[in-house]
């Protein structure tokens, strides 16, 4: 089994001349494919520049649906998002009406006590 070291996913939720709903669905499919391996794990999200006031935030929750990566980090407005994975950390950049927010997404390691 090959462990993917680097992943790059980009998408946006609005249409331009070069963008269509089909491309958005490809983005959602790519995110679902990448994060399905983490369903049932505790997810940790941090940001030092969230929103218009550049707030520092920390959140964690149990990942139940891979698409939660999109819905919990984005607003119900126009946005574009890039996700880059290196080793075991995902870096997410979200551009929306509030500006640019950077997130670090990581998962708790599974407890392998046997």
Give residue-wise pLDDT tens across range 2-43. Answer: 445 567 788 777 655 555 555 778 888 999 999 999 999 999
56-96 per-position pLDDT tens digit: 999 999 999 999 999 889 877 788 899 999 877 999 999 98
Residue 54 resides in a domain: yes
Q: Are 56 and 113 in contact (CB under 8 A)?
A: no
CB 92 within 8 A of CB 83: yes
Please check whether residue 74 is in contact with residue 94, taking contact to mean a CB–CB distance below 8 angstroms: yes
Q: What pLDDT shows up at residue 14?
A: 66
Query: Rounded to 5 degrees, what angle do the CA atoms 9, 15, 17 make?
Result: 105
- Could you tell me if residue 113 is inside a domain? no
Asked, for residue 1, whether it belongs to a domain, the answer is no
Helix ranges, the chain (H):
21-35, 68-73
114 in any annotated domain: no
Q: How many domains is the chain partitioned into structurally?
A: 1
Range of the domain at 26: 6-107
Q: Cβ(56)–Cβ(101) under 8 Å?
A: no
| Residue 66 resides in a domain | yes
In a domain, 29, yes or no: yes
45 domain residue, yes or no = yes
The answer on pLDDT for 110 being more than 70 is no
Examine the pLDDT at 112 and tell me if it is beyond 90: no
């Amino acid at each position: 089994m090959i462990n993917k070291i680097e992943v790059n996913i980009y998408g946006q939720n609005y249409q331009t001349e070069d963008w269509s709903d089909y491309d958005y669905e490809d983005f959602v499919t790519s995110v679902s494919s990448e994060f399905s391996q983490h369903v049932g794990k505790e997810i940790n999200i941090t940001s030092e520049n969230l929103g218009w006031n550049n707030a520092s935030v920390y959140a964690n929750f149990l990942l139940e649906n891979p698409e939660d990566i999109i819905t919990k980090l984005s607003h119900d407005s126009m946005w574009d998002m890039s996700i880059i994975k290196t080793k075991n950390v995902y870096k997410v950049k979200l551009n929306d009406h509030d500006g640019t927010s950077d997130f670090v997404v990581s998962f708790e390691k599974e407890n392998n006590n046997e």
